[in-house]
Amino acid sequence: MVILTSVLTTGALTLTACGSRDDSGDKGGDNGSGTTLTIGVDAPLSGENSTTGLGIQYGAQIAIDDANKNNWVPGVKFKLKALDDKAQPATGQTNATNIVGDKTAVGAVGPLNSGVAQTMQQVFASANMVQISPANTAPELTQGKNWQSDKKRPFKTYFRTATTDELQGSFAAGYAYNGLKKKKAFVVDDKQTYGAGLAKIFNEQYKKLGGKVVGTDHVNTGDKDFGSLVTKIKNSGADLLYYGGQYDESALITKQLKDAGVKIPLFGGDGMFATTYIEAAGKSSEGDLATAIGVPADTLPAAKTFIQTYKDKGYKGDYGAYGAYAYDATTAIIKAVKAAADANGGKVPTDINDLRSKVVDGVQKSDFEGLTGKIAFDEYGDTTNKQLTVYQVEKGAWKAVETGTADLQ
């Protein structure tokens, strides 16, 4: 009943937001002096995962500010429409419908969670509007359900600037076995599209390398007490815990694990790579590891200004995980709008459906240097930038320990 109530409330709120945004959009058109185009952002902006979600929103905001300030597309002002999906697939779908219904919207950035993306893809495909996720890593989003045997792209409007879990899980397995020299792993996941997929790939790859998986278990998102699980891990003799899921649960698991005297590192994916993880787990997180897509943002010369802007504006959230990827995703959409305008004699096509389809084509042809490296997409909509980094908690902060590309055997 509580869930139903909150869904209804959220629905009502989003509808209200939709109404007011549309009004201001119409006014922009009436001015005649310029066109205002909207770029939608969908991410968890409150509750679970909101630290990383807000990083996406503000990353996109900075890209839009840059485009407006430097007049990247003459005569066009961009504005951001950020919607909160609370990491819930149903809310994500509502938000996608909302963005598609906005007649000034040319594309969307997001979401954070792969499970949410699954419900949004069809909505954007039907409207022929581009969607670029800076964070989704589930392979089937771009390569279809049978991605392991028969790759087939399900939606031509869906792109991502993040690399896939196939590479992330394999990279983690390789580092755990060869880098950390850990031979016995316990694998736990949260049963979500992202977490379960990641854990499965880690499990398979780790065993291929010669490691032993001494136990597996699943948790529910929202669980708080992992006493029973911790006792099992302790008893299994594992020297590493691999966790597929988000920081909300993994921070509690690592704390309870270390409190019980099990001093083994917890290794996870990019869903855990957030400062919140360290804040929530405190000293227990020392030595824990996470893989994240790309190379560390603060080592990229191009990202320096971005990070400075992010700090100056005093934005909440974590640019480290996806902020720069959201910036690049937004830039890809803006550049596609510019390409459409250039092909149309310097004027943006007035028919929104025409513009949207041209933007999809434009994004597919993206080829520019972004903050995170070269931005280009392959035939599935995946980024061609396949770099990954392992981070480790050292003195209360994430430190990059190894960067590379995953070797798929």
Partner 1 sequence: MNTLPQQLANGLLLGSMYGLIAIGYTMVYGIVQLINFAHGEIFMTGAFGALTVYFYILPDGTSMALAVPLMLLGGALVAILIAVGAERFAYRPLRGAPRLAPLITAIGLSLALQEVVRNFYPGADRARAFPGLDSTHDIGSVTIKDADIFLILAAVLCMAALAFFVRRSRTGRAMQATAQDPDTAQLMGIDTNRIIVIAFAIGGFFAAVAAVAYGLKYGNVDYRMGFLMGLKAFTAAVLGGIGNIYGAMLGGVVLGVAETLASAYIDEIPGMQQLGGQSWANVWAFCLLILVLLFRPQGLLGERVADRA
| Residues near partner 1, by CB under 8 A | 1-2, 5-6, 9, 46-47, 50-51, 188, 191, 217-220, 222-229, 231-232, 234-235, 248, 251-252, 255-256, 259-261, 276, 279-282, 284
Q: Cβ closer to partner 1: 42 or 248?
A: 248
| Shortest Å distance, C-beta 4 to partner 1 | 10
| Shortest Å distance, C-beta 276 to partner 1 | 6
What token pair was written down for 121?
């893809």
Q: Cβ closer to partner 1: 98 or 276?
A: 276
What token pair was written down for 405?
């590309």
| Shortest Å distance, C-beta 246 to partner 1 | 11
User: Distance of CA 97 to CAs 119, 127, 142, 205, 337, Å?
Assistant: 11, 9, 20, 38, 21
Distance (Å, whole) CA 259 – CA 255:
6
| Shortest Å distance, C-beta 253 to partner 1 | 10
Tokens 């909207």 belong to residue: 38
Distance (Å, whole) CA 236 – CA 253:
16
Q: Cβ closer to partner 1: 5 or 70?
A: 5
What token pair was written down for 253?
């698991």
Torsion of CA 269, 272, 273, 278, to 10 degrees: -140
Alpha helices for 153-299 (secondary structure H) = 165-174, 193-209, 227-236, 247-259, 275-281
User: Distance of CA 137 to CAs 109, 196, 224, 399, Å?
Assistant: 14, 12, 26, 22
Distance (Å, whole) CA 200 – CA 369:
33
| Shortest Å distance, C-beta 187 to partner 1 | 12
CB neighbours (10 Å) of residue 11? 13
Q: Cβ closer to partner 1: 215 or 296?
A: 215
| Shortest Å distance, C-beta 275 to partner 1 | 11
Q: Cβ closer to partner 1: 188 or 337?
A: 188
- The answer to whether the beta carbons of residues 131 and 121 sit under 8 Å apart is yes
| Shortest Å distance, C-beta 238 to partner 1 | 13
Q: Cβ closer to partner 1: 43 or 252?
A: 252
Q: Cβ closer to partner 1: 25 or 53?
A: 53
